[in-house]
Chains A and B, each alone.
Chain A
Amino acid sequence: MRIGKIHIILISISIFCCIGFTMIFNMPNSPTKVRLKTTQKTYEAGDNIIIDFERDTTLAAQLFLKSSYGSTMITSSTGEFVVPDYFSRKKGRLDYYLVQEGECLYQGVIDIEAKSKTKIQLETYVGPPSIVAGGEDYTMHVVVPSDIYDNPIADSTKIWLKHQFLGLEKEYEEVTKDLISWKNIFSYSKKGKLLISSQIAEIHSKEFTVEIYPSLAQNFKIYSFREHEYADGNQVTTFTSDVIKDSFGNIVSDGTMVNFVIKNSEGSLLTTQGTTVNGIVTAKLLHPDHADSWEISAFIDGIAESEILEITFDGVLDDFEVSFDMYQREIVVGPLTSFMGQIIPDGAIVKLEIYTNNELIETKVKTSFEGRVKFVLEEGFYPDGEYDFRIKSMGIAKWFKNRVLQ
């Protein structure tokens, strides 16, 4: 196609028209007159808020809303702007700007207050849920009264904070400040359950529980109980304490760990431990299998301790029989007898030390069965010759020297 004059003219005309219309549409508006018809400045949450302007409604305008919960833009064809409920239900300051084509025509503020004539809701927090008796430790009770839309209600609202402890019921009147009301509840000197609630007007909160635990334990006494005083290695000695209490007379909490340290006559430290039930600790230890004396002290680590308790154990036997067979290869120890002459319960330890040329070559350890222990020295392992034996049981040691094995 050839480009003729006619084309050039047509194109020029159309470009001209375009420019012309654009200029017309871009012509600045004459300043629009806007007047706020709505006079109310303060609302209650949940009210139907309408912001009405007197203006030229042929031109599209938008209302920009801004509150602490967020911002939004709403439109209206009539000039009446209805504030959506997610704004009108929130307490606080609501800024609004009437905007037309990027230009702010009007700016205003509305205050929304918490709804006063509805049921008030109480939001309550209590913590920590457990504290220690004695009046030093405390728990904090925080109440946030709010309206049905969850707006905190106005400051200086009266609130009753209540708690109950043992025979005691207390009630404090507080006023809300900075939206909340709070109180520190210090522990009493007794342990127990502290029940907490709050009230505003006719509205009651639910019940909250704070456990008051006993304070640190005081020194205590310990006792021992045993079936007999013999060191037979076969009965249990039980250590107990008196009721362990804190300085306010509370029994320490169940499960408190008490360590018993027992110093025996050799100076070794044996340990046993127990946990308290109703303040009394029970710990157990087996009787020694040789005459011994024990010094017992008990500790709640770093916090309390007992007086020292001393007990002694008498040996059950002074001597025991040992018989050798004719080849000296079978050694029978026993009968091992106990304090009444009865056969010692099975399991008494007998040690046989075998020496040649004053040198320990082996230690055999066996436990008694029906009062006796039999050692067999096999030919293959112990060639014929002279041996020394030392036999030890229940704290008694006996030497048998120069025995000739055949």
Chain B
Amino acid sequence: MNSTTNKYLITALLIGVIFHGTSIFFTIEYTYDALIHLFFGNHYANSWFEPWSYSWYTGFTVMGYPPLVHQSIGLLSYIGGLKFGLFSVAIIAIILFITGVYRYALVLTSNRTVAGYTAILAVFSSTFIETLHIFGQLPSIVGISVLMHSLPEIYLWIKVGKLKYLINALSLISVTVTSHHVTPIFGMVFFIFPLIGMIIMDAARDKAGSYKEIRLLHFIKTFFGLLRRIITFGFGSLILIIFCILPYWINTKNNPITQVPIPHGSRDNFLEVTSSGLVFFLIPWGVLLFLLPYIWYRFFSKRYLFFGLSFTLLTILGTGGTTPIPRAILGDNAFNILTLDRFTLWASLMALPIFGEFAYRFVEGDLRDKIKRRYGNLLHRILGGLLGSAIVLMTFFTMCLGYFRPLQPAQIKMLPILNFLKQDQHDHWRYLPLGFGDQMAWLSAQTDAMTVDGNYHSARRLPELTTRAVERLENSKFRGVEGIGSLQQFLTVPEKYNLKYVFSNDKFYDPILYFCGWQRLRQLENGIMVWEKLNVPPLSNILPKDNVPLFQKLMWGLIPVLTVLIAFIINIQLIWIHALKSKFKAFPVYFKYGIEYVGFKKSVIRASFLWAIAMCGIFAFGIYLLYVKNVTQIRPENVITAYYDALDFKEFQRAYSYLHPGSNKSLDQFMLEVSVTDGLLSSYAKLDKLTIEVLKQTDTSAKTKVSGNWITPLEKIDKAFYHELKKEKGKWYVLPLDYDLDIPPDQLFSENIPTYYNHGRRRITSEQTHHEDVLKQPVLEVLSARIINNEDQYYIVGELQNVDNVPSDVVVSGTLYNDDNIELASYNVKHQIKHKLMPKETTSFRMNFEGIAWKNIDDQKPTTFDPEQFTAVDFDGQPAKFNLQCAGNVATVDLYKRVVINDLTVKNTGIQGVLFNSGLREVTIPQLIISYYDSERKLIWVASKYLPEGIRPQRKLFFEYDFEDLSCAIMIDESMENIFVNGLANEEISKKMVPERRHDQKQSQLIPIDGKGFKYVKIEINNYVGASN
């Protein structure tokens, strides 16, 4: 081999390692995947041979992902910690990638200079930058890099037939498969098949004399000549693909992926969802988009024909849902499981050598000469400058994408959370992070505590998760009804999962936590709010796991690292030995098939020019469209849309700019009015849909009705606003709405209220809480409870009172039985209850029996979001009896009870009223709990309504409520026999605590109404106080 070093390769390696190696420290932790790999790495570092991990999903097996990269991180972590392992592996991946591209380019172009150019371009290729710095897909990069390393060996084996090459090739294939399982399978089709085609072409050329003279017959003959070697290689690699990660295949077979597919941006229509188009099409292609004609021209030359076919197929598959072709090719199933961005990745990598060749010809080859000769020196320089700046721009843009549009929440300091979990045996329960992004994996990697959530969705096990397209509970707000629905189930029945702590990094989830009966514990130093649920039992000491046979554990633990060792010894070491011996060695055979770079075709230059100009045109048009979309004030509808959009994104200054300038409202005044509104609508809602109806319009004024749908964690809010608009100087403006001018009675006022503090553990000791420090569970009394069938669904409604002398948190769980005492369903009361009761306070409650939504694949899924909706349990029989278990625990927080009903107008269809906050704290979300009674004053139904606005102290809030139609409500059972409070019979408690209960009091507390199916109602108020000061 030529003893001179390839200076381009060395340059590429130096730049690559310095550029990527330094920047990964600022990017890779913010990527989508890197922290997941880190978590897996940590698993191997701690238990190399044990594939079962309890950390996520109530336990899962790590045999669901090829282990090499994770094991490498684990191994390296012994030297300098987990992050050291991650960064080292990333740097190794960078080196492997650059050298891999170089070797692949060498096979393809047979020109060391061109391959050198390719290596340099590979360093700055936007697809690589994106995969590494934005997606963090290390296994994918290692896989494809090693696959590219194997290509020259495969070429040599098939062409020359020396066993040495076969062994080299197979050793590299096994490294590929242990690092990423999809790469070798698809790589076979998309990289190795075209390579084999090219080898046959080369061999046929040897016979025919030149590529031009190759005919089909030559080709077929040559093919049969090489068939034995191809089959040997094919079978060899097939066996390796199966054998090296055999436990993976066994696991896949035993636990087939029966989950509902999770939507992925790469399957979108890129023209409709432009953000997906940017990330999954524009960025990976980058500068290559301008060179497509040249790439196709070269790929469809006879030698590269098969690469051309493969490249075209990859390009089409990479377009996702933009055209129906990918779905047709892959079939519905594969289309919904695979992420299609990998096809674009492979296509753009495949084209790199051609790009390198172009660059070479443009910088120092025939293209340069041609352009210079025909169009002069200047144009060549300009073009060079343009191309160079395009590459620089693209690299800049891709590297900084994460900065402009953060993919992850800001970095969370984990130490306070880790300390919290370690303290006081908090890790004896499961926890749930909310709003952490992929940093939840980093948290899991550092703690022994377990979470019900997880970040590797193929391994999800709980049906609550697998039946929905919920990637993680942690980001469930982005998954609409399915996400929030899943989350609500986990929060309502946390006992089932031993879930006691929630770490919330997103205020959005606070209301749902509160109304599901959780309470704030405290805010950690890093700003994370810890929520806890009382009455949740700790995890058992022994947890179930799926065991696998020893041989699988050994294979999984030993083979991957072994493949690397073997590959290292037979590939790298041999090269060193050769180098040391400095014996002259001939060039590999593929070197003789390179083409002379002379006579760049005029037509190609023209086509390229035209294409580039067309691309520029398309880009310009796209930018223009984007601009036009933002013209806001040409019609009343536009300005209303813009106004609401600005309010939704909290861009108040922009919203102000749509207000009529003559309305005498200053920006300060507007901002002030906005800042004093709090509540579900202004603090926790996301605008979903806006319907604008122009009621009246003249030339200069208009009146509109705006019906908005807002999504909140609790419910969907439909609300209508009326706006008047005015036109001035050709622009429409919104007239500001009146705001409440009411002045509260007192400037400064005070109040005496009891507040509580519970020491928990009085002695500072690490021992379990001493028995004398354990408070008695507050005694509750269930006053009434019954099964109600309303519109073919079963509910338990009832009333209960805290008859103790201390405030209590209330957990109510109920079970339905049929006549044969067979259990039908069991659930907890979710939000139709006041979860915190003062001494002697009463609450009504209603329990829904929720099943797991859409358990059957065929079930129709709702298309719009409705957090109120739940899937009722399918009963195997008719519920006839019930059992109620109530538990009280001393509560010391969330006891604000100062909202009163100051005015009430009652009609038979509904009520209108005014709430008044008579206390000292601002209520963020008031909830009305409305109990319906029949003519005998028996409770038959409980409903709740969240008011969209908050109430500040001494302020009023108007509300309206429409009664429900209860003509279909049937009482099934009202036996109080099986009701237990803190494990004791309710009847006993009733006799002992309030022996002479005065039932007549109800008469004067219920509002008589002649409603549909009910005669009386009662209104209770539950308050969520947002700021926890």
Q: Which one of B724, B898, B901 lies within 8 Å of A271 (CB-CB)?
A: B901
Chain A residues, CB < 8 A from B702: 380
Q: A132-B805, A253-B805, A301-B841 are in contact. Are A268 and B900 (CB under 8 A)?
A: no
When A286-B956, A302-B783, A346-B743 are in contact, do A259 and B1005 touch as well, CB less than 8 Å?
yes
Q: Is B752 an interface residue (CB 8 A)?
A: yes
Known contacts A254-B754, A301-B840; decide if A270 and B902 are in contact (CB<8 Å). yes
| Cβ contacts A285-304/B at 8 Å (1 or 0 each) | 11010000000010111111
Q: Which A residues are in CB contact (< 8 Å) with B804?
A: 213
Contacts of B956 in A (CB 8 A): 286
Q: Which of A37-45, A148-156, A175-183, A366-374 contacts B (4 or more CB under 8 A)?
A: A366-374
In contact, A255 and B754 (Cβ under 8 angstroms): yes
Q: Which residue of B lies closest to A263 (CB)?
A: B1004
- Expressed in whole angstroms, the minimum distance between the Cβ of A382 and any Cβ of chain B is 10
Contact flags B938-972 to A (C-beta < 8 A → 1, else 0): 00000000000000001010000000000000000
Q: How far is the CB of B333 from chain A (nearest CB, A)?
A: 57
Residues A380 and B696 in contact, CB atoms below 8 Å apart: yes
CB of B906 to closest CB in A, whole Å: 6
CB distance B775 to A129 under 8 Å?
Answer: yes
| Interface presence of A105 (CB below 8 A) | no
Interface size class of A (residues with CB under 8 A): 35 or more
| Contact present for B904 and A270 (CB under 8 Å) | yes
A206-244 contacts to B, CB under 8 A, are 208-209, 213-214, 216-217, 234-236
* Among A236, A263, A304, contact of B918 (Cβ-Cβ < 8 Å): A236
Q: Does A20 contact B (CB under 8 A)?
A: no
Using a CB-CB cutoff of 8 Å, which residues 320-352 of chain A contact chain B? Answer: 345-347
Residues in chain B near residue A378, CB distance under 8 A: 701, 724
Chain B 717-757: CB-based contact to A (< 8 A → 1; otherwise 0) = 00000001000000000000010111101100001111010
> Does A282 lie within 8 Å of B751, measured CB to CB?
yes
CB pair A283–B900 under 8 Å, yes or no, is yes
Query: Given A214-B805, A347-B741, does the pair A275, B754 have CB atoms closer than 8 Å?
Result: yes
Does residue B698 face the partner (Cβ distance < 8 Å to A)? yes
A75 interface residue, CB < 8 Å from B? no
Given contacts A261-B1004, A380-B696, A380-B698, contact A271 B807 (CB under 8 A): no
Asked if B838 lies at the interface with its beta carbon under 8 angstroms from chain A, I say yes
Tell whether A128 pairs with B776 under 8 Å between CB atoms, given A235-B745, A301-B1001, A367-B741: yes
Indicate if the CB atoms of A302 and B901 lie closer than 8 Å. no
Residue among A299, A301, A367 with the highest chain B CB neighbour number at 10 A: A301
Given the known interface contacts A216-B994, A302-B997, the answer about A284 and B753 at a Cβ–Cβ threshold of 8 Å is no
Q: A257-B897, A269-B904 in contact; A299/B1005 too (CB < 8 A)? A: yes
Q: Is B519 an interface residue (CB 8 A)?
A: no
Give B770-802 as 1s and 0s: 1 = Cβ < 8 Å from A's Cβ atoms: 011011100000010000000000000000010
Looking at the complex, which one of A268, A282, A283, A345 makes contact with B743 (CB distance below 8 Å)? A345
Chain B residues closer than 8 Å to A285, beta-carbon distance: 900, 902, 916, 918
Closest B residue to A280 by beta carbon equals B752
Confirm or deny: A305 has a beta carbon within 8 angstroms of a beta carbon on chain B. yes
- The CA-CA distance from A213 to B779 in the complex, in Å, is 13
Contact of B745 among A132, A137, A234 (CB under 8 A): A234
A399 beta carbon closer than 8 Å to chain B? no
The answer to whether the Cβ of B703 comes within 8 Å of any Cβ in the partner chain is: yes
B901 touches A272 (CB 8 A): yes
Residues of the A chain whose Cβ atoms lie less than 8 Å from the Cβ of B766 = none
A150, chain B: closest CB distance, angstroms: 17
CA distance A300 to B805 in the complex (A): 13
- Which residue of A273, A304, A366, A381 contacts B696 across the interface (Cβ within 8 Å)? A381
Specify the chain B residue showing the minimal Cβ separation from A378.
Answer: B701
Looking at the assembled complex, report how far the CB atom of A88 sits from the nearest CB atom of chain B, in whole angstroms.
29
- Is the Cβ of A366 less than 8 Å from the Cβ of B841? no
- B839 on the A face (CB < 8 A): yes
Flag B893-918 by CB within 8 Å of A: 1 or 0 each. Answer: 00101101111111000000000101
For B1017, the closest partner residue in chain A by CB is A269
Which of B742, B901, B906 makes the CB contact (< 8 A) with A346?
B742
CB-based nearest A residue for B906: A268
Say yes or no: is B999 at the interface (Cβ < 8 Å to chain A).
yes
The answer to whether A272 and B698 touch (CB under 8 A), given A213-B805, A302-B998, A369-B741, is no
Cβ contacts under 8 Å, A304 to chain B? 998
Instruction: State whether the Cβ of A126 lies closer than 8 Å to any Cβ in chain B.
Output: yes
- Given A213-B805, A380-B701: A288 touches B841 (CB 8 Å cut-off): no
Nearest CB of B to A287, in Å: 9
CB contact list, A159-174 vs B, under 8 A: none
Partner of A268, one of B745, B905, B993: B905
Indicate if A99 sits at the interface (CB-CB under 8 A). Answer: no
Q: Across the interface, do B752 and A282 meet the contact criterion of CB distance under 8 Å?
A: yes
B839, A253: Cβ atoms closer than 8 Å: yes
User: B289 at the A/B interface (Cβ < 8 Å)?
Assistant: no
Interface residue B238 (Cβ < 8 Å from any Cβ of A): no
Whether A208 contacts B772 in the complex (CB less than 8 A), given A297-B1004, A346-B742, comes out as: yes
CB contacts (< 8 Å) of B751 on chain A: these are 282
Query: In the assembled complex, which residues on chain A have CB atoms less than 8 Å from the CB atom of B1001?
Result: 299, 301-302, 305
- Identify which of A128, A302, A381 contacts B999 (C-beta below 8 A): A302
Q: Which residue of A lies closest to B956 (CB)?
A: A286
A277 at the interface (CB under 8 A from B): yes
CB neighbours (8 Å) of A282 from chain B are: 751-752
The CA of A345 and the CA of B741, in the complex, are separated in Å by 10
Closest to A278 in B: B752
Cα of A185 to Cα of B162 in the assembled complex, Å? 96
Q: How far is the CA of A275 from the CA of B405 in the complex (A)?
A: 50
- Residues of B close to A257: CB separation below 8 A: 837-841, 897
Interface assignment of A256: CB less than 8 Å from any CB of chain B = yes
Q: Please, how many angstroms separate the alpha-carbon atoms of A130 and B902 in the complex?
A: 38
A125 an interface residue at 8 Å Cβ cutoff? Answer: yes
| Contacting residues, chain B, for A379 (C-beta < 8 A) | 698, 701
B745 and A286 form a contact (CB under 8 A): yes
Chain B positions 812 through 854: 1 when the CB is less than 8 Å from some CB of chain A, otherwise 0: 0000000000000000000000000111111000000000000
Taken residue by residue from 697 to 709, chain B's Cβ proximity to chain A (1 for < 8 Å, 0 otherwise) reads as 1101111000000
Do B838 and A255 have beta carbons less than 8 Å apart?
yes
Complex Cα–Cα for A268 and B902 (A): 10
Q: A196 to chain B: closest CB distance in Å?
A: 10
Assembly CA distance A216 to B781 (angstroms): 14
- Cross-chain contact B801 with A284 (CB below 8 angstroms): no
Closest Cβ–Cβ distance, residue B929 to chain A (whole Å): 12
Say which residue of A125, A208, A305 sits within 8 Å of B998 (CB atoms): A305
| C-alpha spacing A275/B742, complex, angstroms | 28
Q: CA of A225 to CA of B996 in the docked complex: distance in angstroms? A: 32
Q: Is residue B214 within 8 Å, beta carbon to beta carbon, of the partner chain?
A: no
Q: Does B1007 contact A (CB under 8 A)?
A: yes
Complex contacts, A266 vs chain B, CB 8 Å:
905
In whole angstroms, how far apart are the Cα atoms of A303 and B842 in the complex?
A: 12
Residues of chain B contacted by A276 (CB below 8 angstroms) = 754
Cβ contacts under 8 Å, B903 to chain A: 268, 270, 288
Give a binary string over A84-108; 1 marks a CB under 8 Å from any B CB, 0 the rest.
0000000000000000000000000
Q: Which single residue of chain A is at the shortest CB-CB distance from B916? A: A286
Interface centre among A214, A234, A255 (most CB of B within 10 A): A255
Residue of A nearest to B699 (CB): A380
User: Knowing A257-B839, A301-B801, A303-B998 touch, does A269 contact B1007 (C-beta < 8 A)?
Assistant: yes
A256-B840 contact, Cβ under 8 Å, with A285-B918, A288-B903, A303-B998: yes
Would you list the 8 A-B pairs with minimal beta carbon distance, nearest first? Answer: A347-B742, A272-B900, A284-B918, A213-B805, A253-B805, A380-B701, A257-B841, A380-B698
12 CB-based A-B contacts, threshold 8 Å: A128-B776, A255-B806, A256-B805, A301-B1001, A302-B801, A302-B998, A303-B997, A305-B1001, A347-B741, A380-B698, A380-B700, A381-B724
Excluding A130-B775, A130-B805, A367-B741, 13 further A-B contacts by CB distance (< 8 Å) are: A208-B772, A255-B895, A256-B840, A257-B838, A261-B1004, A271-B1019, A275-B753, A275-B754, A285-B918, A297-B1004, A302-B999, A367-B738, A380-B696
